[in-house]
Chains A and B, each alone.
Chain A
Amino acid sequence: MHEFLEFTIIGVVLGSAYAVAASGLVVTYATSGIFNIAHGAMGMFMAFVYWQLSVGWHLNTALAFVLTVFVLAPLLGAVVERGVIQWMDPNNVATTLAVTVGLTLLFFGLVADYIWKPAARSVPQFFGFSGFTFLGVKIDWEEVITVGAAVAIAVGLRLFLYRTRTGMAMRGVVDNRDLIGLFGGRPARLSTLSWAIGTSLASVAGILVAPRLQLQPLILTLLVIDAYAAAMIGRLRSLPMTFFGALVVGLASSYALGYLPSSGIWASTPIQGLLTLSVPSVILFIVLLVLPMHRIRSGAPQRHAPLAPASFVRSLQGGVLLVAGAWVAVSFMGPGEVVKLGIALAFGLVCLSLVPLTGWGGYVSICQLTFAGLGAYAMYEFGSGGSLLGLLAAAGLAGAVGALVALPALRLRGLYLALATMAFATAMDNAFFPWSAVFGFDGSVPVPRPDLFGLSVSSDKAFTVFLAVVFALFSIGILALRRGPFGRVLVGMKDSEAACATLGLSLTTTKLIVFTLSAAMAGVAGALFGGAESVAGGTDFQMFESLLILAVVAIGGAAVCSGALAGGLALGFLPGNAQDVFIGAGTVVLAFYPDGVLPLCYTRLQRWWQSVSAPRGAAVPLAAEERAGALAGPRAA
């Protein structure tokens, strides 16, 4: 009994921390329509600010807390909302997720690499380790504060959002922004206020958990991901249910750690990884599949027509140019740079797998690197000596797993699909990749480079050119798909699934096919990525890195193959300590140009060419994107 009580208290305290984090998420989503993946990163950033004030500059603890939570955090939230969020279309789930992912990377990079240099830092607990004993169980005052804060926040938010004019107006902005404006409300200010409150809550969560977790950027950033399950149980709108969900997640995690056996088969990596270490992710996945989803902001008409796909001739020209460029580059680059170019092209292939799925279909996946990891494993297992069987196995294994993941997730769309893929990726990180049966006892294995029927591409230069060839072929292939009926259905589904269903198109089959295709491409990319790096290990295919993939693809342009190439080059050549900040800052561009940088350049280039080549005096028609864009604009203030 005593032991059960201990684990229960541990679970309640953990759940309370999740509840504080999840409440801020729910408030932001319920009042702005945007799921803020950067919520944890912003809370982490404010935890560091709190440390700087209270420990670094020796400010009074209470004063530092008040300054951080009630002044600086709301200010940060307001700046983010005014500077970035207000320009985004909340119906464009892919873009909103990519931008908030970018903000995550930006804050993480600023803290980890620039503002606060790596060092051991800790935030002292409010009352040290003092506490009291309850039924034989020691309880710290810190734990009491955490639980109390969670309850107070849940109750307070509920009252604020449902019993005050401002709160109701904030909820109304999400439903109908223009109507609120007509009734004298100020939607812009209300959105800013919601982000200010959300960031303030994120800072509270960060400050409360920092004493337990130390001031580690990555851990504090990722903690909120465990709280997603709680937010989903509350369906992103009910704070009491969110609180309940947080307790469920906390208690389940605690009981699993405490009561599941740790010997025999239970000690194996997959079992422990799944049932002990991935409890929040497993709960998230189950909740997403089982609970009926709230109305989802997707299927609204796009604000502009998509770019027309390149013709076969144009795609062939592009492919030849790419291969020729790679050939010239490897001739002049040093050995280290050649390897980096190869890795960049391999990353580009992973990014390319997102083009049909995210760029054309509008489905956000945060597990592409997981599929790539499966491909690398398959190449190691079946590609001995460079056998092409390895590549086939990579495509087959990753594609099969992709289909398995897609099947239960077929009913999901937009944000919920993205979160389901994230949960899957996290579970794989804990249960599959660390398994010694996968990447060996050392955590990494040598991955052979393919042998093309006697034609060796084992040297770095030859392999890099080979990667360019594969990229070109894949691009030509998927562009051909895009130009065909399948591609048109895909784009139509992104525009309006309801309309497609009305026309009798099979959405299920199309969704399943594009998921499988995307996963298979990622699998092949992973096999070649392993070859480019010469080794592959579980740490190469973590979920957090998939966020980088999503961000760079979105920046480059998720609907164009060259965007994937640009993303790969960025990942391959940007210095490690600058990647997060540059990519994070780059996603801010998406708020203004949601299609990405390259499509914008193509459009402008096309227009310039038309103006140059048009007869004198003739009007130059707007490009389709510009026509639609001219009718839209920033959201109504």
Chain B
Amino acid sequence: MTAARDTRARGRPRGRQHLAAALSVAVLALLASACGSRLTGHEAALAQGAGSGGSGGAQALDTSSGNTTTTVATASATCGSTSSTTTTTTAPCTSSTGGGTALAAGPGGSSTSHAGGAAPAAVASGAAAGTGGAAGAAATSAGACGANGNQTPAGGNGGATATGVTATTIDVGNIASISGVSPGLTQSAQQATEAWAAYVNSTGGICGRQIKVQPFDDGSDSGTDYADAQQACSGDFAMVGNASGFDDGGAQAVSSCGIPDMAAEVSTAAAGGTADIFGASPGNDHYWGLGPANYLKSTYPNAIGKAAMIYLNVSATQTQAAHEVSAYTGDGFHYVYDTSTTPTNANYAANVQAMQSAGAQYVTEYSDADSAERLLQAMQQANYSPQVVDWFSEEYSPQFAQQTAPESNGDLVLMTATAAYEEASGNPGMQLMESWLNRVAGSGQWHQDIFAILAWSAGLAFEQAAKEVGPDLTRAALISKIQGITSWTGGGVTPPVNIGQKIPSPCFFYMKIENGAFQRVYPTAPNTYDCTGGFAQY
């Protein structure tokens, strides 16, 4: 009964960073300038490079509407950080302009308002945004490879500037959990990474170098993850798009050899504590977002007074559940049922009966999709319909919604790390990702889950950082550039997240399941997030 580790995308803020209002406005401009970069042949890649002190690729603003209010950077700036280990931050993270709490994640860049002319404006604003020196240097590095950062400089790109780099190729490794106790668990991440590589190569690559992905399968095992990372250390320049619940194994290798790891998600504390590992969904060990709790408290004030928590009895989910219970309790939740279960629990009926007896009206479970299905079925059999059933984003998959229909109708699904596939029609970044995944992996041959989105986003972040470095590509230089990505949305496929400083996004939105499909609940506007909740620290 080997249990798959909880691969929950840790969309919980790790902390808040103080940013001056002026810098936040600069970041704002960068975000605006970068809005078109993903879909316009990287015209604004220069801007991203120029703005390396800021967010570069974040697409969180609806600049087409002229709304220049906050992104997560601004939100972070006004929240302030705390040093207490038990402080619950209640001050909402407001925008610098005092604007609304909802954050518009604008078009990822395909909108006509960003086409063409965005680049020059982006360059200007980018140059203004960052420190002069940094912007200038970045501009020089990026400019050497052309406006899009994809051309070989006139004098050559230096050839083999680092392990896994040649004049024509950049080898990147990708580790996913494909075999093992949960076959195909994060396979979509590897497929998305390969799709991203094909996309980048179709636009000319990076400084004349094509991306080559070396795939690995860790078989849901830490030791194999370690072996794969060691292999990547010796032959690849970097790792991109890794998605594994067993990245603690690879963390040891990364810390030894210094290979940059721009992962899809960071799952374990060991990986989160490794300097050279970054995540499109960073790990979080010390902060817990309260935005969802605030929303639930205001929307279901009676339900939160009778909350129930079930979690798998593996350490990671135990810890996460304990943190959530602690954080939410501080925010007004009262848990009347809090228990563990095994991944092979065949007797959810007893859990359901116990919750019914305790009068629980808010139910959540930290588990895999199969366990969640069994719990739902047991609730259906017992005619138990609490006011709120709240799943997290690992349950955000069409398979889960269809398998559990209709008993899952009305269930909430908390989204903290990615945008929604259902809203791709208004999100060019998502459209771009899907089109390339369909092209490379085959339509219907990949799972529409959060791992694919995060891996794609990780690839774009790597690309930006590598282009900012320019032709003289080294591991240390790349890491330095990644550290500068502080507000990132991957072209609109994720909420703003601080990759460089490993601070998860404070943003969230809720979907609900209806008749086997997902529908947005809050905030109501498509492709928007609420980033105002604040954090609990532990």
> Which A residues have a C-beta under 8 Å from some C-beta of B?
3, 6-7, 10-11, 13-14, 17, 112-113, 117-120, 122, 129, 138, 140, 209, 211-214, 216, 218-219, 222-223, 226, 253-254, 257-258, 262-263, 267, 269, 272-273, 276-277, 334-340, 343, 426, 429-430, 434-436, 439-444, 446, 460, 532-540, 542-545, 575-577
Complex contacts, B183 vs chain A, CB 8 Å: 112-113, 117-118, 577
Report yes or no: B224 in contact with A576, Cβ–Cβ below 8 A. Answer: yes
Q: How far is the CA of A223 from the CA of B342 in the complex (A)?
A: 12
Tell which of B315, B338, B341, B351 has the most Cβ of chain A within 10 Å.
B315
Report yes or no: B224 in contact with A269, Cβ–Cβ below 8 A. Answer: no
8 A-B residue contacts at CB 8 Å? A6-B353, A269-B318, A340-B227, A442-B316, A535-B270, A538-B315, A539-B3, A543-B1
Q: How far is the CA of A276 from the CA of B345 in the complex (A)?
A: 11
Complex contacts, A226 vs chain B, CB 8 Å: 346
B180 within 8 A of A: yes
Shortest CB-to-CB span from A234 to chain B, Å, is 20
Given A17-B346, A120-B400, 9 extra CB contacts under 8 A: A10-B349, A258-B350, A269-B318, A426-B1, A442-B316, A534-B253, A535-B251, A537-B222, A576-B220
Total interface residues on B, CB under 8 Å, equals: 71
**Residue from A212, A267, A269, A539 within 8 A of B377 (CB atoms):** A212
Report yes or no: B373 in contact with A140, Cβ–Cβ below 8 A. Answer: no
Interface residues of B in 180-218 (CB under 8 A from A): 180-184, 217
Complex contacts, B251 vs chain A, CB 8 Å: 535
Report yes or no: B313 in contact with A277, Cβ–Cβ below 8 A. Answer: yes
- B470-489 CB mask vs A (1 if < 8 Å, else 0) is 00000000000000000000
B523 within 8 A of A: no
Shortest CB-to-CB span from B209 to chain A, Å, is 23
Q: How far is the CA of A209 from the CA of B377 in the complex (A)?
A: 13
Complex contacts, A14 vs chain B, CB 8 Å: 346-347, 349
Closest to A255 in B: B350
**Residue from A122, A269, A334, A335 within 8 A of B340 (CB atoms):** A269
Q: How far is the CA of A18 from the CA of B34 in the complex (A)?
A: 61
Complex contacts, B314 vs chain A, CB 8 Å: 434, 443, 538-539
Closest to A431 in B: B313
Given A254-B347, A262-B337: A544 touches B1 (CB 8 Å cut-off) = yes
Complex contacts, A441 vs chain B, CB 8 Å: 269, 315-316, 318-319
**Residue from B227, B347, B357 within 8 A of A253 (CB atoms):** B347
Q: How far is the CA of A434 from the CA of B180 in the complex (A)?
A: 20
Complex contacts, B351 vs chain A, CB 8 Å: 257
Given A272-B339, A442-B319, A533-B222: A254 touches B350 (CB 8 Å cut-off) = yes
Report yes or no: A442 in contact with B349, Cβ–Cβ below 8 A. Answer: no
Q: How far is the CA of A394 from the CA of B378 in the complex (A)?
A: 43
Complex contacts, A543 vs chain B, CB 8 Å: 1
B96 within 8 A of A: no
Complex contacts, A540 vs chain B, CB 8 Å: 221-223
- B1-15 CB mask vs A (1 if < 8 Å, else 0) is 111010000000000
Closest to B342 in A: A277
B334 within 8 A of A: no
Complex contacts, A258 vs chain B, CB 8 Å: 350, 353-354, 357
Shortest CB-to-CB span from B408 to chain A, Å, is 13
Closest to A219 in B: B344
Complex contacts, A440 vs chain B, CB 8 Å: 269, 315
B364 within 8 A of A: no
Complex contacts, B383 vs chain A, CB 8 Å: 138
Interface residues of B in 387-432 (CB under 8 A from A): 399-400, 402-403
**Residue from A223, A334, A535 within 8 A of B346 (CB atoms):** A223
Report yes or no: B222 in contact with A444, Cβ–Cβ below 8 A. Answer: yes
B453 within 8 A of A: no
Q: How far is the CA of A254 from the CA of B341 in the complex (A)?
A: 13
